[in-house]
Every structure is written in structure tokens, then in C-alpha cells.
Amino acid sequence: MKILITGAAGFIGSHTAERFKKEGHEVVGLDNFNDYYDLSLKKLNAEDLIKAGVEVIEVDLRVEESYKPLSTDFDFIIHFAAQPGISSSCTFEEYLTNNIIATEKLIKFAHQNKNLKQFVNIGTSSIYGLEATFPESVAPMPASNYGVTKLAAEQLVLAESRSKRMSACSLRLYSVYGPRERPEKLYTKLIACAFNKEAFPLFNGSEKHLRSFTYVGDIVDGIVAVVNRYESVNGEIINLGTEVEHTTQDGIDYVEELLGKKVEMNVIEKRPGDQWRTNANIDKAKKLLDYNPTTGLKEGLQYQIDWYKEKFL
């Protein structure tokens, strides 16, 4: 099969591209290589993909001209590319163009692929709102520009399925961590602060937040299962994550234990729109995909620490 992955130089996209290539598929990765975070990190990911045999192309999904060099014989499109996270430095226009406009342009391109079996949208638990503990049937209540625009992108994709113009589904991911996690995210930032002897910026009260911290490999397992069973998931929204809850403090404690050192905390003002609890309800994923995440938080954090040491020390 020939698979197109957007946001392929990013965290989860790069792992997904590698997995499908390893399984013998032809994989093309797209990324706009923007400067939301240090470009050198995306380039490291891209280098790993190229070594693995994945073609990586720089494309701005918001610009129709960017699609012209692409072939139109893809069997699957897996859409990770987005303006991520909850950040005061991002304007609404950045969320709007990267999450909604780009998705709409990509859908137009998808229609040019006559053999396309499915468009897999990558959503987020932020769509649910401040508490994400629900089955997929619950009405979403996003509380951030990120969540609002990701919901809109998801609905654009699912509208194609409802109207029978294209087979499509959307996956809502929960608190993913592991090697290649973005530098501003919890665990990469925490590990970096530990090794660099810097204070970690802890949002006030966030140490009590509950999370379904899900190892990236378990997320990729779910995505692979979706592609393998695409006929049974058309039109579906599916949560992917772990049912095991941990507080942010639990994660901090594990990192300190694994590193054998304490990390100084610098408590800063909490950010609006931050979820206080996520706990993945994966009953549907179990039923449709036989989904079963198995990597514990401490085990996954050791993998992430090993990756950080290899790449940055």
C-alpha cells in the first residue's frame, strides 16, 4: 500500500511513518517544517525517516500550489499536521489556518486519489474539553482555540464520510509521550531541565492534573489497526489512549527516580483551557480494533530518557 502521512517530521507522525515503512508499505511524509519549535529537532526526525526509506517532502498544506508535485495514487492519508497544543504565543489565525484551512485543502487533494481507501484524521482529547473521560458519543465541549479548531477539522473530514464522498474516520489521542516528544511538552522539558540543571516551569496546580499518559508506540499500534480494518471504521470517531490514570506529579516522581536526581520546580501561572483530567474511554477501540495499550508510564519514560541521552548528551 502507498500511505501519505502529514506532519511526518513531528512527534507521533514520524513514529507512524517508520512503522508503516517497516511493515513494507511505501510511505511519503509531508511537513511544513515551521518554526513553532526548534527546526533542528524536526530535521533530526526527518533524517531518521529518510534513512528508513521514507520520502519526506516540504509542503504547506494551506497552499493549493504545494500539492502539485504530489502523486495521486495513495491508498491511505493519515493527517497529523496541525498547530498543536495550548499556547498563548499562538494566535487564533494560526490555529484557524493550520487546523481548519489546511484540512479542507487536504480533503480536496484526497479526492484526486481515485484508489483512496480511507482518510484517517488525527484528533485530540482536547476536543472533549476540560475533562476528557467520555465515550465518543458525548457532545464535545472544547475549551481552547486548539480544541475548537481540531473539532472543526474533524467534522470537515467526517462530513465526507456522511455524504459518502470518501471513507474517513477520526482518532482522538490522549496525552501521548515518548521519544521525539516536542521540547515544550511535559516529559521532554522535564528531562532537559534535569540534565541542564534548570528549573522546570510547572503550571500552578497542574501537578494534581490526572492524565491518560499514553506511550507513542501504543498509539501507533492503534493507527496500524485502523488501517488494517479500515472497512469497519468508516465514519467512526475512536479514542486511543490508556485507561490507566496518573497525576502529573506521578510522572515527575518517575522521571526523578529514573534519573536519580531532583528537578527544581518554578511554579508559574496556570494556563487557561488546560484540561484537568483525561482518562481514555477505549471501549470502542477494544471492540473495533482489539486495541490493548500495554506500555506502563515508568517503562515508557525510560525509553524517552534513553532517546534524550542518545540525541542530546
Which CA distances in Å does 249 have to 31, 215, 283?
34, 17, 27
Burial of 135 (0-12, 13-18, 19+ CB in 10 A): exposed
Measured from the Cβ of residue 19, the count of other Cβ atoms closer than 10 Å reads 17
Q: What is d(CA 282, CA 240) in angstroms, rounded to the nearest whole number?
A: 6
User: Nine-digit cell at 10?
Assistant: 513531528
Buried-state track 234-260, b at ≥16 Cβ within 10 A, e below 16: bebbbbbbbeebbbbebbbebbeebee
Q: What is d(CA 21, CA 25) in angstroms, rounded to the nearest whole number?
A: 5
Active-site residue list: 146
Judge whether 143 and 129 are in contact, CB under 8 Å. yes
